[in-house]
Amino acid sequence: MKKIAIAAAAAALSVVTLATSASAAIVCNREGECWHVKGRYAYDAGWGLVVHPNNWRWGPREKFVWREPAREERGYWRGGVWVKF
């Protein structure tokens, strides 16, 4: 019985570790378009993107707009158009 309890605790710890290790972020471009990403991508510096932590919020005097891609695919917003990479 003790082995079962230890195995159950180890399994629960594994699930918590997987859930907390997921990477999420908010990315914004120079035009004020922001969107959520589920992973960390290597964006080209020339695209002018800023990656923020997932709990980031803009200030009351800042002007941003939320845009989300229609599907989960790698890319970024530019001028209201989703550019895949």
What is the pTM assigned to this prediction?
Answer: 0.67
Domain boundaries, the chain: 23-79
pLDDT reported for residue 29 = 95
50's CB contacts (< 8 A; 6+ apart) are 27, 28, 29
In contact, 76 and 29? CB cutoff 8 Å: yes
pLDDT reported for residue 10 = 42
pLDDT reported for residue 1 = 52
Question: Which band of pLDDT confidence, cut at 50, 70 and 90, is reported for residue 22?
Answer: low
Summarised one tens digit per residue, pLDDT across range 26-83 is: 999 999 999 999 877 888 999 999 999 999 999 999 999 999 877 778 889 999 999 9
